[in-house]
Amino acid sequence: MSETFRRVLIVGTGLIGGSLCLSIKKECPQAILVGMDANESSLEEALKVRAIDEIGTDFVAEVLKADLLLLCTPVKQTLSFLKEVDKLSLMRPLVISDVGSTKGEIMGLAETLTNDQLSFIGGHPMAGSHKSGFIAADVDLFENAYYVLTPSSTVSAETVDRLQALLKGTRGKFVEMTAAEHDQITGVVSHLPHIIASALVKHNQVLVKQLPMTKKLAAGGFRDITRIASSDPAMWTDILLSNQEVLVAEMKDWQKQMADILNWLERADKQTIFDFFASAKNARDALPQRKSGAIPAFNDLFVQVPDHPGEIAKVTGILAGANVSLTNLKIIENREDIFGTLQLTFKNQQDVKIAFNLLTKDGGYTCYEK
């Protein structure tokens, strides 16, 4: 462990901040971690499992004692904290990093900080979950996920290396890029898809009022492709507003593409429509398999089971016997005298592989991934 970071202040001990605490403690147990959060239960739980060593009550007092400040808060809150720290009379160097999903606003402010004791390294660990709070924190959350770093212009390579050393326990894949590059990429592959998924769900709700059967038919593939619409509304409001310029441009391009498709459809242009789907299929098929990207992959395993009493208990019993934990279980189909399908969701791809082997070899089930 670098001696630079003997005392670390983490503001925000929810899913991301709590998982970082667990990762740091695993790799650097000597570091003193101080947690602060508006949610007292998250702090108490983090202290109980020793993810943090102390609970901070005075932000300024804790900043003055810290070597590293990790802001695991929404972008707008992070901006406020940065402004507050910049005004303090620091007696020694302080490195600050964040976990914001957009980097433009944050890095823009970071470049204007006047306190010569501050070094800012923007950060974005590209991992997450539909769950929130410290109770959802997971030491393996960032494993093999991209961890983007956007150092400010005055930060030395040595300081970046020190931060990476402290965060080595995340087992993430560190990559450096500019704030503009980050926001452009995530705008297209993460932020816009969340908007589209939410819009599809809202569009579907209009039809549900007219034709109630729509809700039942949407429980299959439609529900799966719109899963990301279940994300935290407050967080996504913050993300959209902090990446406004990029998303306005991308949504205008998207509207143009939808207008083109509408035109092809109105003209019944069969060849152009076919080429559109063929091109999309080829591009989609060329994407890396089972890699962690801007939107965390869903670690699902589908198991065909006969509709017999006790089958679900048998499946979960096999997994429990090997200490493999489920994060979710859904019955996709359950009809009499034919096979139904269980959709099992796990924390990571490693658990998916273990479950696949257990259920196919020990249980004799047919399993597959999508």
- What's the CATH code of the domain at 103? 3.40.50.720
Region 193-207: what's the mean pLDDT?
A: 91
Q: To the nearest whole percent, how much of the chain has pLDDT over 90?
A: 60
Its sign, for the CA torsion 208, 214, 218, 219, is positive
| Distance from C-alpha of 346 to C-alpha of 350, rounded to nearest angstrom | 9
Q: What is the pTM of this model?
A: 0.78
Q: Higher confidence at residue 138 or residue 86?
A: 86
203: tokens are: 């569009």
Looking at the predicted structure, is the pLDDT value of residue 343 above 80?
A: yes
Judgement on whether residues 312 and 281 belong to the same structural domain of the protein: no
d(CA 352, CA 135): 22
Record the tokens describing residue 351, joined without a space. Answer: 């658990």
**330 shares its domain with 274:** no
pLDDT at residue 323, as a whole number: 87
Residues 7 and 151 in one domain: yes
Pair 151, 81 in one domain: yes
CATH number of 237's domain:
1.10.3660.10
The answer to the question of residue 164 being in a domain is: yes
Q: Look at residue 293 and tell me if it is in a domain.
A: no
Q: Domain containing 319 — which CATH number?
A: 3.30.2130.10
Q: What's the alpha-carbon Rg for the chain, to the nearest Å?
A: 23
Within a domain: 292: no
For residue 226, being part of any structural domain is answered with yes
Q: How far apart are alpha carbons 178 and 98 in whole angstroms?
A: 15
Q: Say yes or no: 240 and 277 in one domain.
A: yes
Q: Are residues 330 and 281 in the same domain?
A: no
Give domain status of residue 275, yes or no. Answer: yes
pLDDT score of 335 more than 60: no
Give yes or no: residues 11 and 144 share one domain: yes
Checking if the pLDDT of 351 tops 50, the result is yes
202 vs 328, more confident: 202
> What residues make up the domain containing 348?
300-368
Mean predicted confidence (pLDDT) in 162-189: 94
| Number of structural domains in the chain | 3
> Residue 4 has what pLDDT?
66
pLDDT digits (tens, 9 = 90+) for 137-151: 889 889 888 999 999
For the chain, give the percent of residues with pLDDT over 70: 93
- Reduce the secondary structure of 258-309 to three states and give it as a string: HHHHHHHHHCCCHHHHHHHHHHHHHHHHCCCCCCCCCCCCCCEEEEEEECCC
> Confidence band (pLDDT; 50, 70, 90) for 3?
low
> Is residue 164 within 8 Å of 97, Cβ to Cβ?
no
Return the H-helix or E-strand segment holding 343.
Answer: strand 339-346
Q: Give pLDDT, residue 1.
A: 40
In this structure, is residue 117 part of a structural domain?
yes
Residues 173 and 195 in one domain: no
Same domain, residue pair 101 and 241: no
Residue of 348, 312, 318, 316 whose CA lies nearest to 332: 312
Same-domain status, 202 and 241:
yes
